[in-house]
Amino acid sequence: MEKVLNQQEIDDMVRAARGGAAAAVPQVAGRDVTLWDAHTAGQIGRDQMRSISLLHEGFARNLTHSLGAYLRTAFTAALVSAEHLSYRDFLQTIPEVTYLASCKLAPVGASALLQLDLAVAFPLVDLLLGGEGKGTPPAREITEIEEQVLETVVQVICRGLQTAWQALSLEFQFDARQQSEQAQHLMPLEEKTLALSFEITLPDSRGTLNLAVPAVVSNALLRKLSTEWVRSKPRARQDSDQRLRARLLTCPFPVELGLTSLAVPLRKLIELAPGSLLVLRREARKPATLLVGGREMFTAGVARRGPARVAQVLECCPERPSERKPSR
C-alpha cells in the first residue's frame, strides 16, 4: 500500500536533505533607540563649560573683594555650578519668595535674570542701613524702600559681570525689580540659557545668587574667547630645535669620575684612621666610570693635561634595563 505524506513530513524530508535541522533564524541585536530632543541641540561642550567656569570663578573672587570692601564686612562669593538650562528649568530652580531683578545686556538688546535669596538679601539691606546684618530674616517679601537699598548691591554685581564679560564689550545694566509672574515673560520659556549659581556667605547668613544669561550671548562669548586663545597661542619657530640645541650646549652639567659598584665591609670602614690603607679589591688598570648628571655615561681613565687632571673617555657604558624607555 502506497503511503501518502502530509505537508509536515514533506518539509522534514526537505530539511534533512539540505543538511539536517532547520537553520536557525539569525537574531538581530536590539538597538537602543532614543527620541531626539530638539531642546538639547546646541548644548555647550565640556571644554567650553570649563572656560566659562574659569571666567566666572574670577568674577566671584573680584566680587568678594569689591562687595566686601563696600559693605566693610566679611563677604565671600564662590561659583557653585555653571550649566546649560532652558529658561523654564531655570525658573523651576528658584524659590517662590525671593528677590528677582532683570539686567539689560547692551548693545545686543537681550536681558538676563538675577535672583538673590532673601536669606542674604535682608542681611545686606541691614548692613547698608548701618546694622550688623545679624538676626533671623523676616518671612515676607522685600519692601520698596528695601528694594531701593538693595539696588546698589545689584549695581556692584552688574559692574563685576561687565568686567568679566569685557571680551564682548557687553554692558550689564540694572533694569528693574521683577515679580515672579513678570520674570516668566522676560524670555521665552524654551530658550536656552547659561545658568550660573554662586554661594554668598556673610558672617551670620548664607544663600545663593543665580544668574540666567541667554545662550545666544554666552555662545558669542565662547566664540570670542576661542578666537583670542588661538591668536595668543604661541607658534613654534622653524629653527626652534636648533635654538634649543644651542642653548643646551652652553648649559653646565655635573661630571664626576669615580669607581662604582664597590663593596666594602662596614668593619673596614669603622677601622679607618689617618694613614690606614683601604683595599678596594679592584685592579688599578681597570677604567673608572664617568658620571654625567649622576648617570653612568662613559668608561674613562685618569689622565693629566698640563697641571689639570682630566678623564680620557674610552667607550660608552651599556644602557641599563631600568634606564630604557618603555616601548609603545
Rounded Cα distance, 83 and 197, in Å:
9
- 23 pLDDT more than 50: no
Place 266 in a pLDDT band, splitting at 50, 70 and 90: confident
Q: Which residue has the higher pLDDT, 33 or 68?
A: 68
Mean pLDDT of 34-59: 69
**266, HSE (Cβ side, Cα atoms, 13 Å):** 0
User: What b/e readout covers 276-314, taking b as 16+ CB neighbours within 10 angstroms?
Assistant: eeeeeeeeeeebbbbbeeeebbbbbeeeeeeeeeebeee
- 319 pLDDT more than 80: no
How does strand 171-178 pair with strand 99-106? antiparallel
Q: Identify the weakest region by mean pLDDT among 99-103, 136-140, 174-178, 210-214.
A: 136-140
Whose CA is closest to 169, among 102, 223, 106, 232? Answer: 106
In degrees, rounded to 5, the angle at the alpha carbon of residue 66 between the alpha carbons of residues 229 and 77 is 75
Pair 127, 135: CB distance under 8 Å: no
Rounded Cα distance, 232 and 147, in Å:
44
Mean pLDDT of 268-281: 85
What's the confidence (pLDDT) of residue 327?
47
Domains of the chain: 42-137+144-231 (3.40.1550.10)
- 323 pLDDT more than 60: no
What's the confidence (pLDDT) of residue 76?
94
pTM over 0.95: no
pLDDT in tens, 103-155: 999 888 899 999 999 999 999 999 999 888 887 888 888 899 999 999 999 99
- 219 pLDDT more than 70: yes
Rounded Cα distance, 174 and 167, in Å:
20
Sheet strands side by side (includes 76-86): 76-86, 192-202, 205-214, 110-116, 99-106, 171-178
Q: Which residue has the higher pLDDT, 76 or 230?
A: 76
